[in-house]
Structure 1
Amino acid sequence: MSMLIQHEREKLIEAVKFFAQNTKKLGKTKLFKLLYFLDFTHFRDTGRPVTGLKYFAWPMGPVPTKLFEELERPSTDWEGNCLFKLVATQKGNMLTVNTLSKFDPAHFSKRELRILQELAVQFKDADAEQMVEQTHLENLPWHQVYEVQGRRQEHIPYAMAVRKQEEEALLTLINDRAEMIGALRK
């Protein structure tokens, strides 16, 4: 495993622990949406996701499919960190997420920690249905892939986190600088 992938994996485990310690009603659906918002918000701001997960446009919103599959049989690096267990609810069985060890902020930048904190505050009491609604908002990446483009079950590119007007402003800025450099070289 490369150092980058290992670092992203450590961040994933710590992010799950953070959300388990700082939100209520943390099941699989809510967790997936929180990780999606973490990764896509950070990508929008920096051009890099936090966990490196790949998200796909499923009917209930964005799903990191590899993590979805892994939670059926969690790998050994979850041991001592998180406990995933099925709990019977009125709506059927729900996979709950509990933390077994203290969150370690050392793996994260200040920006990443701020985003984690903001998401935990914003969605502290939200349930799975409310989280699904938030990811389905018009013009967000899931909505663009699933509803607008009709690419159900397909990958949601991180680049979609950058809004069109921001993308156009960035391209204008790059072109202006290129022209300025070109003029200086003459």
Structure 2
Amino acid sequence: MDFNKEKFKNVLHYIIHKCGHKSNVGKTVLYKLMYFSDFNFFELYEKSLTNESYKKLPRGPAPMHFDVAIEELTNEGKINVKTKNLPSERIMYNYSSLEEPKIDFGDDELSVIDDVLDNLSDMNANQISEYSHGDMPWRATDDYKIIDYGFVFYRNPEYIKRNYDQSD
């Protein structure tokens, strides 16, 4: 799978446009919204939305090209990033969209992304990290390794998006 940087940037910009204004949506939440958009799409259609690679980190899956995409979107004048210092030397990143995102998605892609946003974008970083820890692709991957998309076919029922025919 070849990484589709423009598609990744467009999906990320769309997600920031739709929910970057929420006070709970920082870097960790965006990581997970991108992950579930890609992995849910893969489960449903057996192909990746962006072909991004996600690494298993202690707080959940993280997209490998996130920082590059954010930097490019910022330099292109499409988004703005603000930082705020938090206790324990942590930083909160807030993202805002400065223009309408380019929506070059099919209806099926948009449906999956919007479903992820509807169901998960109100979670804070701790909640969505904990939720991601229950997903089989993250659970089945060794720490700091790339998560295999194929593990979506072994998800627990609460994560399954595909309607599997029970008569098979």
- State the TM bucket, normalised to the shorter chain: 0.7 to 0.9
Offset of residue 95 of structure 1: 1.9
- Say whether 1:154 aligns with 2:153: no
Q: Compare CA radii of gyration and give the structure with the larger one.
A: 1
* One-letter code aligned to 1:161: V
TM alignment of 1:20-39, pairs within 5 A: 20-23=16-19, 24=22, 25-39=24-38
Offset of residue 47 of structure 1: 1.6
TM-score of the superposed pair, with normalisation by structure 1: 0.72
| Secondary structure, counterpart of 2:110 in structure 1 | helix
For residues 10 and 19 of structure 1, what CA distance do their matches in structure 2 show? 14
For residues 31 and 132 of structure 1, what CA distance do their matches in structure 2 show? 11
Offset of residue 123 of structure 1: 1.9
- Say whether 1:11 aligns with 2:10: no
For residues 157 and 79 of structure 1, what CA distance do their matches in structure 2 show? 32
Offset of residue 89 of structure 1: 3.5
Deviations 1:47-83 (A, max 9, x none): 2111211011111111113324x37x81367522122
Which of 95, 107, 112 lines up with 1:97 in the alignment? 95
* One-letter code aligned to 1:124: S
* One-letter code aligned to 2:133: H
For residues 35 and 111 of structure 2, what CA distance do their matches in structure 1 show? 15
Deviations 1:109-168 (A, max 9, x none): 11110011111111232111111011011x5210111xxxxx2101111111122799xx
Higher helix share: 1
Offset of residue 100 of structure 1: 1.3
* One-letter code aligned to 2:129: V
Structure 1 residues without counterparts, runs of 5 or longer = 146-150, 174-186
Matched residues, percent identical?
Answer: 24
| Secondary structure, counterpart of 1:162 in structure 2 | helix
| Secondary structure, counterpart of 1:75 in structure 2 | helix
Structure 2 residues without counterparts, runs of 5 or longer = none
Which of 63, 76, 80 lines up with 1:79 in the alignment? 76
Aligned residues: 155
For residues 133 and 126 of structure 1, what CA distance do their matches in structure 2 show? 10
Residue in structure 2 matched with residue 88 of structure 1 by the alignment: 85
Residue in structure 2 matched with residue 184 of structure 1 by the alignment: none
* One-letter code aligned to 2:145: E
- Say whether 1:109 aligns with 2:100: no
| Secondary structure, counterpart of 2:31 in structure 1 | helix
Residue in structure 1 matched with residue 117 of structure 2 by the alignment: 120
Is the alpha carbon distance of 1:102 and 1:159 closer, same or farther for their aligned partners in structure 2, counting shifts above 3 Å? same
Is the alpha carbon distance of 1:78 and 1:41 closer, same or farther for their aligned partners in structure 2, counting shifts above 3 Å? farther
| Secondary structure, counterpart of 2:85 in structure 1 | strand
TM-score of the superposed pair, with normalisation by structure 2: 0.79
